[in-house]
Chain A
Amino acid sequence: MKYILMMNGTKTDFGEYAKWSKQDMEANVAFMRAFSKQLKDEGVFVATEGLGWPGQAKLVRASKDGTPITDGVFPESKEFLAGYWIVDVESPEQAYKIAARASAAPGPGGAPSNMPIEVRQVLGSHSDLGL
């Protein structure tokens, strides 16, 4: 079963991250790179992507003639997706364990950031015979 592990943050969170020291930033990036490699080595990796920052995010709706109407004004409390991993695991518990590892990514001063990771199942196409 596949799960998506999502890192979300408010604009404030992104702003804080932008102020990290070079050393903290490098440690975090190194962790993320190593983490993806571990997932590959463990045979659970499906995909990972990082997203552009909220400053460039737009909400798009279709106008009456179908052309896009864009809006970049969001409430302060809105959480934005920063990046995600998709893993293929044998149980939800295994996905939670992997999410906890991501959550422990180093923050300022190298301490675990304990950032929240949202875990959601990716729907498959087969249905269990239920035997």
Chain B
Amino acid sequence: MTPLPSDPPIEPLLRDLTPQVLGIVVRRFRDFAAAEDAVQEASLAAATQWPRDGLPQNPCAWLTQVAFRRMTDHIRSESARRHRESEAALEMEQLTPPVDAAPESDHDDTLILLFMCCHPALTPASAIALTLRAVGGLTTAEIAHAFLVPESTMAQRISRAKQNIKGSGIPFQLPTTEERAQRLRAVLHVLYLIFNEGYTSSAGPDLRRADLSYEAMRLTRIVHRLQPDDTEVAGLLALMLLTDARRQTRTNAEGELIPLSQQDRSLWDRQQIAQGVAVLSATLPKGAVGPYQLQAAIAAVHDEAPRVEETDWPQILALYDLLKRMSDNPMVALNRAIAVAMVHGPMKALELLNALKTDARLADHHRLDAVRAHLLELAGDHVGAVRHYRAAAGKTGSLPERNYLLAQAARLSSKLPLTNEQE
């Protein structure tokens, strides 16, 4: 077994194989928490041995065998710990996985694992971490790096998530048909959160975080392959592709944010936009329309405008109208206000914002101030715009965003007479 130039890169292979192998091990041993640890260990062993010894003939069987051995060790030490007769351990010793261990139904297993890891009983942060490890095949260290926390903290978070799963008795099986739609929404939400977490500068120290967007797209592609008829899965995949297509232009070399209206559209990833549009278009004949599809459609309208002046705002507004009927998310109402401003003028949009001010979910949110500042600027009220850009800067949790908002305030205030500036 010598490494051949034709060998596929090991890391992506391990990531692809993780849910398959985990499915096999969980089916055999019926202990998700321990099986997940065993597969992670097998994967780490592969990452050191395969580059040295070459790829085994059947990487899936290799991983399964190592994971089975780890499970046997685990069960042995557990029974020793409990001072029990080691009958179970002896029995396990006899276990040898079939050399060509093929998953019974790896498609179902991957879905089952996603449903488990994204279970509503878990907090979003634990669901994200567990999904990335158990389904995404990332190592604890990689996940910890991506979220900028110590590896031990991430390990603990994953272990607690698994205890929660154990405690709530979530079975390793597909949810019932009635449950399924709702549970799939939870899966999509977690995938969306992972994408969003990685949606940032592609420059400098943040380079690693961009991997999260890539992982989210990879996992969503898998779900799309497993559930090709679900229009919202397709909608989320399209949304990710169409949004990520602008990644290179969202920030400059220094990591400063560049708004959509000022991005260099010639650098947008046309191929990815075409893919996103194709995925989205394929859902249209299927009838059902959901929030992810609508968001993707809005992203597509932006992506397809060759120049910012050619943006089809009436179309975007119509899509937001549909979206608003489906969701009471105040962020949707806020984004819609921008479309209203572009179609009916900023005064009309500012009226909408006044109505939103009473929404407790937005009251202290920086985006309410940021959008108001933008609308006031459009309306020619530069003093008010400066005030709200600064208020937004004081509330945001993102450093690049704060710098962007302060730069907007500075740009406008430098044109103001000093007396107004003192307001």
Contact = CB atoms under 8 A, between A and B. Distances in A.
Interface stretch (A52-60, A107-115, A121-129): A121-129
Nearest to B398: A127
A126 B398 contact: yes
How many chain A residues sit at the interface, stated as a range, is 20 to 34
Contacts of B147: 88
B276 interface: no
A90 B397 contact: no
Interface in B100-156: 123-126, 147-150, 152-154, 156
Interface string B257-300: 10000000000000000000000000000000000000100000
Interface in B317-371: 329, 331-332, 334-335, 367
Contact of B209 (A2, A43, A126): A126
A106 B10 CA distance: 53
A131 B209 CA distance: 19
A10 to B, nearest CB: 27
A42 B156 contact: yes
B374 interface: no
Nearest to A126: B200
Interface in A23-69: 40-47
B169 to A, nearest CB: 21
A130 B331 CA distance: 6
B41 interface: no
B199 A127 contact: yes
B175 interface: no
B400 A131 contact: no
B153 A45 contact: yes
B242 to A, nearest CB: 12
A131 B198 contact: no
B196 A126 contact: yes
A64 to B, nearest CB: 28
B1 interface: no
A67 to B, nearest CB: 30
Contacts of A129: 196, 199, 243
Given A126-B196, A126-B209, A45 B150 contact: yes
Contact of B153 (A1, A44, A121, A128): A44
Contacts of B123: 90
Nearest to B402: A123
Nearest to A43: B157
B401 interface: yes
B296 to A, nearest CB: 10
Contacts of A1: 397
Contacts of A41: 156
Among A1, A47, A126, chain B packs the most CB atoms within 10 A around the CB of A126
Of A42, A88, A125, most buried by chain B (CB within 10 Å of CB) is: A125
A40 B149 CA distance: 11
From B150, B397, B398, residue with most partner A Cβ within 10 Å: B397
Contact of A131 (B148, B192, B205): B192
B152 A125 contact: no
Contacts of B154: 43
Contacts of B16: none
B206 interface: yes
B153 A124 contact: no
Contacts of A130: 331, 334-335, 367
B153 A126 contact: no
Given A40-B156, A127-B257, A131-B331, A46 B398 contact: no
Contacts of B197: 126
A90 B200 contact: no
Q: From A2, A90, A123, A127, name the one whose CB has the most chain B CB atoms within 10 angstroms.
A: A127
A128 B365 CA distance: 12
Q: Closest 10 A-B residue pairs measured CB to CB?
A: A43-B157, A126-B200, A43-B156, A123-B399, A127-B398, A127-B401, A130-B331, A45-B153, A88-B149, A125-B206
22 contacts: A1-B397, A2-B148, A40-B156, A43-B126, A43-B156, A43-B159, A43-B160, A45-B153, A88-B125, A88-B147, A121-B397, A123-B399, A124-B398, A125-B205, A125-B255, A125-B398, A125-B399, A126-B199, A127-B257, A127-B396, A130-B334, A131-B329
Given A43-B160, A125-B201, A129-B196, 4 more contacts: A43-B156, A126-B209, A127-B199, A127-B401
